[in-house]
Amino acid sequence: MSSDRPMGSAPERQDIPATLAEAHEVLWSGRPARDADPLVWVEFHRHSSEVYAKTAKVDPRHRHEALACAGMEIRKARDIEHRLNPESDDE
């Protein structure tokens, strides 16, 4: 998938999606390229975690699933950070 933003730039901050399905769609369309810098992926996963956590507050029917998605995204970000700097022990 291509994007109009420059390679390596931060995902655009948008309004909070009203449903979990909208959150999935918005985040999927803003995914970095597969070969993007790992720090871009870290930022994407951290942003995704925030979006899912906020979506959990506005989509009560999918609250638990949205919170689970938020947790998975933050773990992905931390995993990449750990692989980039294995000596770091900030968890």
Q: Are 35 and 10 in contact (CB under 8 A)?
A: no
Is there a domain that residue 2 lies in? no
User: How does pLDDT run across 9-44, given as a tens digit for each residue?
Assistant: 444 445 789 999 999 999 999 999 999 999 999 999
Return the residue matching tokens 């998975």.
72
- pTM, two decimals, is 0.79
Is there a domain that residue 16 lies in? no
Is there a domain that residue 91 lies in? yes
Number of domains in the chain: 1
Angle between helices 20-29 and 63-84 (to 10 degrees): 30
Is there a domain that residue 27 lies in? no
User: How does pLDDT run across 46-61, given as a tens digit for each residue?
Assistant: 999 999 999 999 999 9
Following CA atoms 9, 76, 81, 85 in sequence, which dihedral angle do they give, to the nearest 10 degrees?
-140
Return the residue matching tokens 């420059």.
6
Is there a domain that residue 78 lies in? yes
Q: Show the domain range for 72.
A: 38-91
